[in-house]
């Protein structure tokens, strides 16, 4: 819990006067603690998010294949993924703890759950939006069902799938900030530490800024990927 008032003395040994007075932004602190605090947290954050997005993408794709082929299972998959999406992240972590403990697995299960709705919806809607005429033409020219899927439906759905991937990536990077409520990993950790150490401003602004920057950079990289893979789409 955070207690207001009182002298602000961050727990960072003998700091500069800026640190001792908890100034708005102490560049010397950032320089001193980049390699022992910020950089490891950044790498952990990337790892947390990358695992979740990778696993989430594979699961969502498998579900989308099933939901696309068998329309009957689409509504239940949609309802379950919407259900998972609605659970507040902090609550989902704690509900999982009795099952999977204080572990990376707990965090990843929660992060993966939040990617499913976005990825699945975009995949299904992308696949559904493929014009029937195009599919008929492919089938008529002798493509098998699998070939039609791989060479016609999937490429045409790719823009929607990649848009879903962008949204899922940015929101996963954002939600991964909550991970320190379970395990001490990611950029949420320095923020959490600063909140409990008399709200040390520099650390909050730096780590917070880094999360936002990471999300924007990841989004930018995916835009480049999008231009590369689907050059026919003018964004």
Residues forming contacts to another protein in the complex (CB under 8 A) are 1-2, 4, 82-83, 85-95, 97-98, 167, 170-171, 173-178, 181, 188, 191-192, 194-195, 199, 201, 204-205, 207-208, 211-212, 215-216, 219
Q: What are phi and psi of 58, to 5 degrees?
A: -65, -45
Q: How far is the CB of 82 from another protein (least distance, A)?
A: 8
Sign of CA dihedral 226, 228, 53, 220: negative
Q: How far is the CB of 165 from another protein (least distance, A)?
A: 13
Q: How far is the CB of 200 from another protein (least distance, A)?
A: 9
Transcribe 93-116 into DSSP letters: HHHHHHHH-SSHHHHHHHHHHHHH
Q: What are phi and psi of 91, to 5 degrees?
A: -70, -40
List, in sequence order, the alpha helices (H) in 4-130.
17-20, 27-33, 39-69, 74-86, 89-100, 104-128
Query: Distance (Å, rounded) from C-alpha 87 to C-alpha 91?
Result: 7
Q: How far is the CB of 209 from another protein (least distance, A)?
A: 8
If the CB atoms of residues 28 and 82 are measured against another protein, the closer one turns out to be: 82
If the CB atoms of residues 148 and 172 are measured against another protein, the closer one turns out to be: 172
If the CB atoms of residues 138 and 187 are measured against another protein, the closer one turns out to be: 187
Q: How far is the CB of 21 from another protein (least distance, A)?
A: 14
If the CB atoms of residues 57 and 93 are measured against another protein, the closer one turns out to be: 93
Report DSSP state, residue 231. T
If the CB atoms of residues 63 and 193 are measured against another protein, the closer one turns out to be: 193
């Amino acid at each position: 819990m955070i207690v207001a008032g009182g002298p602000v003395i961050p727990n960072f040994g003998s700091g500069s006067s800026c640190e001792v007075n908890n100034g708005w932004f102490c560049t010397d602190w950032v320089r001193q603690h980049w390699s022992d605090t910020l950089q490891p947290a950044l790498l952990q954050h990337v790892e947390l998010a990358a695992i979740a997005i990778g696993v989430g993408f594979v699961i969502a794709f498998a579900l989308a294949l099933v939901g696309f082929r068998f329309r009957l299972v689409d509504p239940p998959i949609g309802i379950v993924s919407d259900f998972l999406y609605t659970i507040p992240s902090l609550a989902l972590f704690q509900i999982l703890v009795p099952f999977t403990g204080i572990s990376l697995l707990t965090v990843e299960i929660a992060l993966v759950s939040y990617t499913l709705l976005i990825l699945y919806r975009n995949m299904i809607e992308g696949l559904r939006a493929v014009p029937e005429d195009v599919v008929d033409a492919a089938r008529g020219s002798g493509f098998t069902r699998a070939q039609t899927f791989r060479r016609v439906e999937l490429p045409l759905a790719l823009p929607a799938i990649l848009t879903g991937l962008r949204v899922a990536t940015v929101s996963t990077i954002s939600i991964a900030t909550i991970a320190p409520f379970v395990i001490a990993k990611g950029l949420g950790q320095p923020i959490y530490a600063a909140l409990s150490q008399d709200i040390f401003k520099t650390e909050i602004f730096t780590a917070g800024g880094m999360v936002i920057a990471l999300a924007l950079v990841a989004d930018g990289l995916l835009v480049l990927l999008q231009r590369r893979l689907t050059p026919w789409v003018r964004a």
